[in-house]
Structure formats: structure tokens, C-alpha cells
Copies of this chain bind each other. A is one copy, B any other.
Amino acid sequence: MAEDRKQIGMIGLGAFGRFAAGHLAPHFDLLGHDPQAAELPGLVRVRLEAAAACPVVVLAVPVQALEQTCQDIAPFLPEGALVLDVASVKVEPMRAMRAWLPAHVRIIGTHPLFGPQSAAKGLAGQSIVLCPDTGVDAAPVAALCEGLGLEVHLSDPDTHDRAMANVQALTHLVSRVIAELDIPPPPYTTKSYDLLRQATDLVRNDSDDLFQAIEQLNPYAASLRKRFFEAARAFDGRLEARTGE
């Protein structure tokens, strides 16, 4: 372990945490904490206190556990530490981090717009959203992300959640409804169907925690779903009226 390599504490080693660790391991010394996770090459398993004592701490826990995690790590964070989350919503995590982390740390909310499935072939061309807390310079993190091949979007939590209601709340909803139909593999398909299945297959194995975060912890998702169901119902009504069924 080279002395001059920067240490990153990774808290939470679920599907995304492990995926991120794989891409960060060549560039950083990774100290990881997750009582439930298996061993991972390139990452030293440590107690929560040790992971939280790194100059950079990445919180890759389910968003539902973020508030508690912030409380747990608060006493161990070094002065001026950089803390990043990776949640799919940003308003609520930024609120939790601002509320529970010490005033001396720098907070950058991030949303990597990819995962182990959509970025299975690599990070090049994928995007990440950075929402720096007031007064925090996001440039070093942006440069790191760009170095990994990512396209970086600077945003604020509210803009992010509004946009993602239309993007992720929609795709996850459509994916779950289609999964429910349990359609057998068709003997022949159209290009449009193939694309629709690719779209839904990318997210159908996402965890229930992630689905819940996207549909219920995004303050704008309920409105998107309401409009989707209203449009579907209105449509159904028009078709029924025309067929007289």
C-alpha cells in the first residue's frame, strides 16, 4: 500500500458499493465497512470507526439507512472530511447529511446515473450528477469522475429530484408493471419491443430499497405516477368506448 495514495472509506458494500469499489480500487486505498458484505479484492475490511476516519467517506448504504449512518459516523469524521452519498434521490439525503454530520465536513451529494447492470461494460459515456453543499468546491470530485470516463452534471437537489421523477420513477414503474405481466419470450418481436425489454431488464433486478427510494423518497415521483395512471386510465376508457366492450 503506497503511503501517498489517498484513503477512501466506503460505508455500505451492497450491489452499488461493491461496483464502485471495483472502479476506485486501482486509484485509492479503500477501507470498507459492511457487516453483511463478502470479501472484495482491493478493499480492506475495517470497523465503522476506521472507515469513517478517512479523509474521503463514501456512503453507499440504502437511502433508508442514511440518516442513521450519518449519526453513527459523525463522531469519527476527521476535520474537513469530504462525505459523499450515492443515493438515487438528492433532496432527502442532503437534508439528512446536513442535519447529522458535523459542520466542519464538506458534503457533496452524488447520483451515479448507472449501476452494475447498465455500466457492465465500463464507465465510459455514463453520467454522474454532483450536488455540492453550499460553499463546497466540487471541482476535484468532478475531475476524478471525468478521469474515470464519466460525464459530470452539476445540479441542485430539487432540480435533480424533479428531473429524476420523469426519468427513474417512470422507467422503474413501467419496468415493474411489465415484469408483473410475466410475458413469455415471444417467437418474434419488433425493434420497439426489444428496446422496451432492454430498458426494463436494466432495472428489473434493482433492489426493493432502490425501487422504494425512487418511487417514494423522491418528492416528485408520486405526481409522476399519478399522471401516468391517469393517462393510462383515460386511454383505457377511450379504447373501451370505441370498441364498445
Contact = CB atoms under 8 A, between A and B. Distances in A.
A196 B180 contact: no
Contact of A188 (B127, B187, B195, B222): B127
Contacts of A235: 173, 176-177, 180
What is the interface of chain A mostly: helix, strand, loop, or mixed? helix
A226 to B, nearest CB: 8
A207 interface: no
Contacts of A224: 181
A190 B159 contact: no
A7 interface: no
Given A180-B231, A196-B196, A222-B243, A190 B168 contact: yes
Contacts of A228: 177, 181, 232
A222 B227 CA distance: 22
Contact of A168 (B176, B193, B215, B231): B193
Given A233-B229, A243-B222, A193 B177 contact: no
Nearest to A126: B191
Given A176-B235, A216-B242, A232-B232, A202 B198 contact: no
A113 interface: yes
A186 B245 CA distance: 38
Given A113-B188, A166-B181, A168-B192, 11 more contacts: A118-B191, A127-B188, A127-B189, A163-B186, A166-B184, A166-B186, A167-B193, A171-B190, A175-B192, A177-B231, A177-B235
13 contacts: A113-B191, A118-B190, A119-B191, A163-B188, A166-B184, A167-B189, A168-B193, A174-B196, A177-B228, A177-B235, A180-B235, A195-B195, A195-B196
Interface of A: 113-114, 118-119, 126-127, 129, 153, 155, 159, 163-164, 166-168, 170-171, 173-178, 180-181, 183-184, 186-193, 195-196, 198-200, 202-203, 212, 215-216, 222, 224-225, 227-229, 231-236, 239, 242-243, 245
